[in-house]
Amino acid sequence: MMSHELPRGKSFWSFLLSVDRDLAERTRQNGCTCGGRLHSANYPRSPRGCPDELPESYRHRLSFCCNRDGCRKRATPPSVRFLGRKVYLSVIVVLVAAMRHGATARRVRELSALVGVDRRTIDRWQVFWREHFPQTCLWKVARGRLALFIEILTFPQSLMDAFFRTDSLEENWGNLLKFLSPISVNGAWLIEGSP
Ligand SMILES: [Zn+2]
């Protein structure tokens, strides 16, 4: 089993931001379904459980709004930083739930203290990974490709094991978060009762 680590340093957070900007640019270029242009209309975020070096830009989730009167439809691109409306970063939601699996009670307490997540929240995240995530379109499509390596019962640890295949922690996280990014869009999967 791989070691559980949060990537350190600003470069990782900047890297995830650059991925989100690319995803957003693609959404913007597609425009609105009505033919209107998309203008920036970011959502404010106050991510919890974050490392000190998190850039200021993490206070927003990139999003757009149609510029046509009578439409004004929202278009929120997928994100490798934020899962749905959750106040925790995707990295934390994956990492904490993975650590819970097979971790000692003491380790869970340490982790909870570190990122400020209570036990009930972690329990909900585990329900998400074990029960909801396997029902997503993303997983149903991906499992044919990945199933040999992945055991649903140990989500998200098994997902990490499947994606953490290089020596670079940043690259591994980047690959996993890009894979997960489709579930970050509105309505794809919100985790109920999140604080
Ligand atoms: Zn429109």
Sorting pLDDT into bands at 50, 70 and 90, what band is 192? very low
What is the CA(28)–ligand 1 centre distance, in A? 12
For residue 44, the SS3 value is strand
What is the CA(82)–ligand 1 centre distance, in A? 24
Output the CA–CA distances (angstroms, integers) from residue 1 to 76, 166, 192, in the order listed: 35, 14, 30
What is the CA(134)–ligand 1 centre distance, in A? 33
Supply the pLDDT for residue 1. 37
| Closest CA relative to residue 87, chosen from 190, 15, 186 | 190
What is the CA(2)–ligand 1 centre distance, in A? 46
ω before 195 within 30° of 0 (cis)? no
Identify the top-confidence range among 126-135, 147-156, 184-193: 126-135
Q: In this structure, are strands 74-75 and 64-66 parallel, antiparallel, or unpaired?
A: antiparallel
What is the gyration radius of the CA atoms in the chain, in angstroms?
Answer: 17
What is the CA(11)–ligand 1 centre distance, in A? 36
Sorting pLDDT into bands at 50, 70 and 90, what band is 186? low
Identify the top-confidence range among 68-77, 110-119, 150-159, 167-176: 68-77
What is the CA(65)–ligand 1 centre distance, in A? 8
Distance CA 195, CA 192 (A): 9
Amino acid at 124: R
Sorting pLDDT into bands at 50, 70 and 90, what band is 145? confident
What is the CA(72)–ligand 1 centre distance, in A? 5
Residue 48 has pLDDT above 80, yes or no: no
pTM value?
0.82
Supply the pLDDT for residue 189. 53
For residue 8, the SS3 value is coil
What is the CA(151)–ligand 1 centre distance, in A? 42
Once rounded to an integer, what is the mean pLDDT over residues 34-48?
92
What is the CA(139)–ligand 1 centre distance, in A? 30
- How long is the chain? 195
What is the CA(121)–ligand 1 centre distance, in A? 37
Supply the pLDDT for residue 157. 87
